[in-house]
Structure 1
Amino acid sequence: MQKCGRFLLAFLLYISLFAQADMVDTYPFHTPEERVRAVELAKSLRCPQCQNQNLVESNSPIAYDLRLEVYNMVNEGKTNQQIVELMTTRFGDFVLYKPPFQWTTLFLWGAPVVLLLLAFGLMWRDTKGRSKRRAAIKLDQTQQDRLQQLLNQAEKTGNEK
């Protein structure tokens, strides 16, 4: 029985080396609406370190600090706009999942539309060029006669089989 207890203790110690617990954010809020607003706001901001996760999903230390900052600002009574402005001042428009349309982001917003129009224009031009090239092919009488002979021979060999 002692061997079984020792084995169990050694196994539990071994497992505890690989155990990992995620932090759970529990912040006190004045009202449940403030808590919902803080979570929604943290979900709308991108983690500067992770880049593809919002502040709620990320486990990075900077995301934890920014979540804490967002929650504190909500408790202080700051508006969503004030909090977003503070974050964009600090990290730029990168922290926003939906960056605003500005002259500096014109290429980012306009490039897909321009490329799509360019692709359609090139396809249209290529289609028109093909039909003109087909129409431009004219056979003289000897070429038409030779073509007719080849078609007749192909028809005869097809019927013989």
Structure 2
Amino acid sequence: MNGPADPRTDPPASGTERELLTAFLDWERETLAWKCAGLSPAQMRLRSAEPSVMSLLGLVRHLTDVERYWFRTVLAGADVGPLYWNDVDDSEFDVVRVQPEGALAVWRAEVGLAREISARLPLETLSERERHGERYSHRHILIHLTQEYARHNGHADLLRERIDGVTGE
């Protein structure tokens, strides 16, 4: 990326399954933070293209709820609802009055909680709650979150390029 310096730590070339799964997920998390680095609130709110309501700030809010849902609600069985998402509209992407610093802080807090939950559970652990009639393994959730971030980081790359021309993996 030809913008802010790349702060990410490359995943290791070898290691235990847990080390590799968590390192790749953390790399994707760090990629999102990097894509948002150095931008103004207005730039963080800039939408991709009509009719989409997608923005970097909206992606941060969406991934906050993804972390919260999969680690806290599904895996750990906590009775916490989404912060931004609802099943009626794209409310997590409605960012007209949202301050990026606050949203990024909430995202970082949810990532921290997800890491704590993950660190104490074996990969074989099945989720406390079912989703679509299935209990998901901790391993599955780590893989799912990695692919979720990877997909949205592709969106983030295009958004960042639209904002200021900065590109990079």
TM-score normalised by length of structure 1: 0.24
If you compute each CA radius of gyration, which structure gives the higher value, 1 or 2?
A: 1
* Structure with greater contact order relative to length (CA < 8 Å, sep ≥ 6): 2
TM-score normalised by length of structure 2: 0.24
